[in-house]
């Protein structure tokens, strides 16, 4: 009974994620309501930041990745950046309409599934750059996004799609 109660009380990230970055080991734990970095040589705490910054009502749920000394995380209605040069300091937040899938970080932007659209968010400042409607044969939501380096891939509802514009197709 106590173990089940402890599992219900955990308020953390969807998955345990560990990222080596410079001399830091960045940890996003499924049992932690923050992200933190440990010194890879000594194991000492270098810094910690909240999963939900002050005033934010939507918690980040998963890690999108690291790009240009920033750690990017996302939740159902948010995308956030933390500055790894400044001890994990919260950098910016982009609010989005509810997302029912996971987004993807690429070399030049963040792409988030938002209903039947894919939103492109600027990775430097969190501004929405574009929102493109995705038309599928069954009119389902976009799903989880991935990238093969050239195009976006969407997986959801027992289907996988390679997304591209009509001209390219």
pLDDT for position 161: 84
Strands in 22-164 per DSSP E = 24-28, 34-39, 45-50, 62-67, 70-74, 78-83, 89-95, 104-105, 110-114, 117-121, 128-133, 144-147, 152-156, 159-163
How far is it, in rounded angstroms, from Cα 41 to Cα 32? 22
- Extract the tokens encoding 78: 């948010």
Structural tokens at position 44: 């000492």
Q: Quick check: 118 and 145 in contact, CB under 8 A?
A: yes
Tokens encoding 150 = 């050239």
Rounded CA-CA distance 102/162 in Å is 16
Q: Which helix (H) or strand (E) holds 4?
A: helix 2-9
Q: In tens digits, what is the pLDDT along the chain, a chain of 169 residues?
A: 555 555 545 679 999 999 999 999 999 999 999 999 999 999 999 999 999 888 778 899 999 999 999 999 999 999 999 999 999 999 999 999 999 899 999 998 999 999 889 999 999 999 999 999 988 777 788 889 999 988 899 998 778 888 876 666 5
Cα distance between residue 11 and residue 32, in whole Å? 6
Six token digits for residue 24? 């830091």
Dist. CA 93–CA 141, nearest whole Å: 24
| Predicted pLDDT at 162 | 86
Residue that has been written with the tokens 């918690």 in this structure: 59
- CA nearest neighbour of 167 among 137, 132, 138, 142: 132
């Amino acid at each position: 009974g106590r173990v089940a109660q402890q599992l219900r009380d955990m308020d953390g990230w969807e998955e345990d994620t560990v990222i080596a970055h410079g001399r830091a080991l960045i940890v996003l734990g499924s049992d932690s309501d923050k992200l933190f970095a440990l010194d890879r040589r000594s194991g000492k705490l270098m810094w910690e930041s909240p999963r939900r910054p002050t005033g934010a009502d939507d918690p980040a749920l998963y890690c999108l990745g690291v790009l240009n000394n920033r750690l990017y995380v996302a939740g159902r209605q948010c995308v956030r950046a933390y500055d790894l040069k400044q001890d994990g300091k919260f950098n910016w937040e982009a609010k989005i309409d509810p997302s029912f899938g996971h987004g993807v970080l690429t070399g030049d932007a963040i792409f988030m599934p938002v209903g039947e659209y894919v939103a492109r968010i600027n990775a430097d400042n969190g501004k929405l750059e574009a929102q493109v409607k995705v038309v599928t044969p069954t009119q389902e939501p976009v799903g989880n996004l991935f990238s093969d380096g050239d195009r976006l891939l969407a997986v959801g509802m027992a289907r996988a799609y390679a997304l591209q514009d009509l001209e390219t197709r």
